[in-house]
């Protein structure tokens, strides 16, 4: 039975599932599909579509995968963009290619936008908006943006979710989850990368991105976090014109942070902007544990008086207390060149494989630090150093939190923008006060007391639960209810091939029996005849011939003589 018959029976999901297999086969990933158990589908795709293209054969695997994702559409482009931030599970060549993915599609019509607004707000559009610009400011796979004016006179922008996109994304997620499950069952070593967990993370991310009311709450949270920072500005959200599919917020007229010439013309202070931006981002990360995850120059506007305004809050990162402590400890250990401490922290906080070669890891980390030895702090790029560090540890199949990947990428963008505004910009100098503050708090009597209380409570709970758990195990054993589940990986393909071989052997035995039986009847020369031959013998030879031809055709088509 084909694997795709076990997935959601929804026709949209099945069609999408088959289309994914066809596209991957077209771009030369037949071997991967066969490993997933799609050998029959791949063979049929070759025969039916014959989609092999000579231009594709000259491309690298990473380039072919990027093109496949682009052809599969918005959901897969978003997946590629997510994977570009995960060098711990995606090879470097694929990360570089996935960074080229562009999330741009044709805009949907103004009539559809008008109908969507009325349906979401539950009243005619004229009750909320005095005018709406029919030409969108921007269009992407999930949403498009229009300028508008409220009936109360405020200039706003409306972010509209693309009609039907939720159904498309859900069908794609269903197909991706099925493929991830197949990968875990069929591909040895895939458990190191946990493909099902990656798809779950992606599903959670894209579902949040499609919920604009969540983005509106994110804006409000940033505003509350920086309520006492006058040089950070966040757009006002108009809740009366906002829903899960619509986000209405204040229109901001400012200068892009990348437009340094315009910043100079307006008399703004590039050095001050760089300093404020760095301090604000580090405050997001190390104080609030909640940071903007998409700080490319197009999402940062500069307002009069060197005020910074951030746009597009669909991607955010979170660092809890444990992750913040881990980050600060790692940075401190790298600065001190204490490789034993670095490895100890990784063993404690990372997802380590059983085959870790700690000696080789220590050697590579030492070589990494030698590259920064005696480098002046003003020349040190913290973001790139962190990315290089992550790249090294991922070579040893050490997985760390995705939010740390997002943080490293964001630091690179912040540092690049800061150096464009101020050539003497030094992120390490801005980071130092936060590290000192964190170290002081870490060893403060209040923090030590809190940590000791947490450890004590954990041990008390463990001691309280041990008798109950032991009693439950003993009771299960006494009732013969104690079970141990064993999972055998990689046997599905063997089972399918074995079943196919048995079926062919059975068919061959049936053919032999038909031929022998027909030959015996032929010798008796009894019963009704056709063309002078006994009818039963003639029918037996005919059936045997047809079945034999079908069997030969099936063997040749499978490519396994």
Neighbouring CB atoms inside 10 A of 535's CB total 13
| Catalytic option among 30, 88, 172, 294 | 294
> Which of 217, 251, 285 finishes a domain?
251
Q: Which domain, by its residues, includes 396?
A: 255-443
Q: Which of 454, 488, 522 is the last residue of a domain?
A: 488
Q: State the pLDDT at residue 239.
A: 94
- Of 111-120, 453-462, 550-559, which has the strongest mean pLDDT? 111-120
Same domain, 337 and 439: yes
Label residue 436 by pLDDT band (50, 70, 90).
confident
Residue with the larger pLDDT of the pair 339 and 407: 407
Position 487 confidence tier, pLDDT thresholds 50, 70, 90: low
Q: Lowest-confidence range among 127-136, 194-203, 291-300, 377-386?
A: 377-386
Q: What percent of the chain has pLDDT over 90?
A: 23
Q: How confident is the model at residue 309 (pLDDT cuts 50, 70, 90)?
A: very high
Q: Do 19 and 143 belong to one domain?
A: no
CB-CB neighbours of 27 under 10 Å: 22
Instruction: Select from 386, 411, 443 the last residue of a domain.
Output: 443
Q: Indicate whether 12 and 141 sit together in one domain.
A: no
Q: Is there a contact between 232 and 280 (Cβ–Cβ < 8 Å)?
A: yes
| Nearest-10 crossing angle of helices 74-83, 165-186 | 50
**Residues 146 and 247 grouped into a single domain:** yes
Q: Cβ distance 242 to 216 under 8 Å?
A: yes
The answer for residues whose C-beta is within 8 angstroms of residue 513's C-beta and 6 or more apart is none
Q: Half-sphere exposure (CA, 13 Å, Cβ side) for 387? A: 20
pLDDT of residue 3: 46
306 and 412: one domain?
yes
Supply the pLDDT for residue 174.
85
**In this model, does residue 48 exceed pLDDT 90?**
no
Residues 6+ apart with CB under 8 A from 85: 402, 405, 406, 409
pLDDT tens for 11-30 read: 566 677 778 878 887 887 77
Domain count, the chain: 5
Asked whether residue 255 carries a pLDDT value surpassing 80, the answer given is: yes
When mean pLDDT is compared over 174-188, 289-303, 429-443, the highest value belongs to: 289-303
- My answer on whether 416 and 377 are in the same domain is yes
| Region for residue 164 given its phi and psi (left: phi exceeds 0; alpha: psi -120 to 50; beta: otherwise) | left
Strand locations in 409-552 (E): 529-530, 533-534
Which stretch, 38-42, 160-164, 295-299, 336-340, has highest mean pLDDT? 160-164
Average pLDDT along the chain: 80
Where residue 461 falls among pLDDT bands split at 50, 70, 90? confident
Q: What is the pLDDT of residues 240-249, one digit of tens each?
A: 999 999 999 9
Read off the pLDDT band of 346 (50, 70, 90).
Answer: confident
Q: Is 272:179 a contact under the CB 8 Å cutoff? A: no
Average pLDDT over residues 162-182: 86
294 is catalytic: yes
Q: How confident is the model at residue 291 (pLDDT cuts 50, 70, 90)?
A: very high
Specify the pTM: 0.72
Q: What is the CA radius of gyration of the chain?
A: 31
Which range has the top average pLDDT, 351-360, 452-461, 508-517? 452-461
Between 268-277, 518-527, 537-546, the lowest mean confidence (pLDDT) is in 518-527
100 vs 271 pLDDT, higher one: 271
Report the pLDDT value the prediction gives residue 19, as an integer from 0 to 100: 81
- Band of pLDDT at residue 377, cut at 50, 70 and 90: low
| 434, 298: one domain | yes
Q: Residues 26, 29, 33, CA angle at the centre, nearest 5°? A: 110
Q: Please name the residue that has the structure tokens 């999402």.
A: 299
| Per-residue b or e along 429-468, where b marks 16 or more CB atoms closer than 10 Å to that residue's CB | ebbeebbeebeeeeeeeeeeeeeeeeeeeeeeeeeeeeee
**Res 40: pLDDT:** 58
Identify the pLDDT of residue 8.
44
C-alpha to C-alpha distance for 167 and 108, rounded to whole angstroms: 16
pLDDT above 80 for 10: no
In this structure, the answer to whether residues 437 and 478 fall within a common structural domain is no
Look at residue 116 in the predicted model and tell me its pLDDT: 93
Return the pLDDT at 2: 44
Q: Which 8-state DSSP code applies to residue 317?
A: E
**Does residue 6 register a pLDDT over 60?**
no
Task: Identify the weakest region by mean pLDDT among 232-236, 329-333, 348-352.
Answer: 348-352
The reply to whether 214 and 200 lie within a common domain is no
Overall average pLDDT of the 495-513 stretch = 75
Q: Between residues 56 and 40, which one has the greater pLDDT?
A: 56
Closest CA to 95 of 373, 457, 390: 390
Chain CA centroid to CA 290, Å: 20
Query: Does 462 lie in the same domain as 375?
Result: no
CATH number of the domain within which 221 lies: 3.30.200
Mean pLDDT comparison of 71-80, 204-213, 219-228, highest-scoring range: 219-228
Higher pLDDT pick, 331 / 219: 219
User: pLDDT exceeding 70 applies to what percent of the chain?
Assistant: 81
Residues 399 and 277 in one domain: yes
pLDDT digits (tens, 9 = 90+) for 179-211: 888 777 777 666 656 788 888 888 988 898 899
Residue 54 is predicted with a pLDDT of 60
Q: Is the dihedral of CA 479, 481, 484, 490 positive or negative?
A: positive
Same domain, 131 and 110: yes
pLDDT of residue 228: 92
């Amino acid at each position: 039975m084909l694997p795709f018959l076990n997935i959601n029976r929804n026709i949209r999901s099945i069609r999408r599932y088959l289309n994914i297999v066809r596209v991957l086969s077209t771009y030369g990933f037949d071997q991967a599909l066969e490993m997933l158990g799609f050998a029959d589908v791949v063979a049929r795709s070759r025969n039916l579509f014959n989609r092999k293209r000579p231009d594709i054969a000259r491309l690298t695997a990473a380039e072919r995968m990027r093109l496949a994702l682009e052809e599969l559409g918005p959901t897969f482009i978003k997946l590629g963009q997510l994977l570009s931030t995960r060098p711990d599970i995606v090879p470097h060549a694929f990360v570089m290619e996935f960074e080229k993915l562009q999330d741009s599609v044709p805009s949907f019509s103004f009539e559809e936008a008008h109908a969507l607004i009325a349906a979401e707000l539950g009243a005619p559009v004229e009750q909320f908006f005095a005018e709406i610009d029919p030409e969108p400011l921007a269009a992407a796979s999930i949403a498009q943006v229009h300028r508008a004016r409220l009936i109360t006179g405020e200039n706003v922008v409306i972010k509209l979710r693309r009609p039907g996109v939720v159904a498309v994304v859900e069908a794609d997620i269903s197909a991706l989850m099925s493929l991830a499950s197949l990968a875990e069952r069929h591909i040895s070593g895939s458990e190191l990368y946990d493909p099902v967990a990656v798809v779950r993370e992606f599903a959670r991310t894209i579902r949040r991105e499609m919920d604009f009311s969540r983005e509106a709450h994110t804006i409000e949270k940033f505003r509350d976090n920086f309520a006492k920072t006058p040089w950070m500005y966040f757009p006002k959200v108009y809740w009366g014109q906002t829903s899960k599919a619509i986000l209405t917020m204040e229109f901001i007229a400012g200068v892009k942070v990348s437009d340094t010439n315009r910043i100079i013309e307006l008399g703004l202070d590039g050095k001050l902007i760089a300093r404020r931006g760095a301090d604000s981002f580090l405050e997001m990360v190390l104080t609030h544990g909640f940071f903007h995850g998409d700080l490319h120059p197009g999402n940062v506007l500069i307002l009069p008086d060197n005020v910074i305004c951030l746009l597009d809050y669909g991607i955010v990162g979170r660092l809890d207390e444990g992750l913040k402590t881990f980050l600060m400890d790692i940075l401190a250990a790298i600065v001190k060149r204490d490789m034993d401490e670095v490895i100890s922290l990784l063993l404690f906080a990372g997802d380590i494989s059983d085959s870790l070669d700690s000696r080789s890891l220590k050697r590579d980390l030492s070589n990494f630090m030698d590259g920064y030895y005696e480098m002046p702090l003003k020349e040190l790029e913290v973001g790139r150093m962190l990315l290089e560090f992550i790249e090294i540890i991922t070579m040893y199949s050490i997985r760390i939190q995705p939010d740390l990947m997002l943080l490293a990428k964001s630091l690179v963008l912040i540092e690049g923008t800061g150096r464009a505004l101020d050539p003497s910009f030094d992120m390490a100098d801005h980071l130092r006060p936060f590290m000192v503050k964190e170290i002081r708090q870490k060893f403060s009597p209040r923090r030590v007391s809190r940590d000791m209380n947490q450890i004590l409570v954990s041990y008390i709970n463990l001691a309280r639960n041990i008798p109950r758990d032991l009693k439950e195990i003993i009771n299960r054993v006494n009732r013969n209810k104690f079970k141990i589940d064993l999972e055998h990986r990689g046997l599905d393909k063997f089972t399918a091939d074995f079943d196919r071989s048995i079926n062919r052997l059975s068919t061959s035995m049936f053919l032999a029996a038909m031929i022998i039986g027909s030959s015996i009847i032929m010798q008796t020369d009894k019963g009704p005849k056709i063309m002078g031959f006994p009818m039963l013998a003639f029918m037996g030879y005919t059936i045997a011939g047809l079945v034999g031809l079908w069997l030969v055709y099936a063997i040749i088509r499978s490519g396994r003589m």
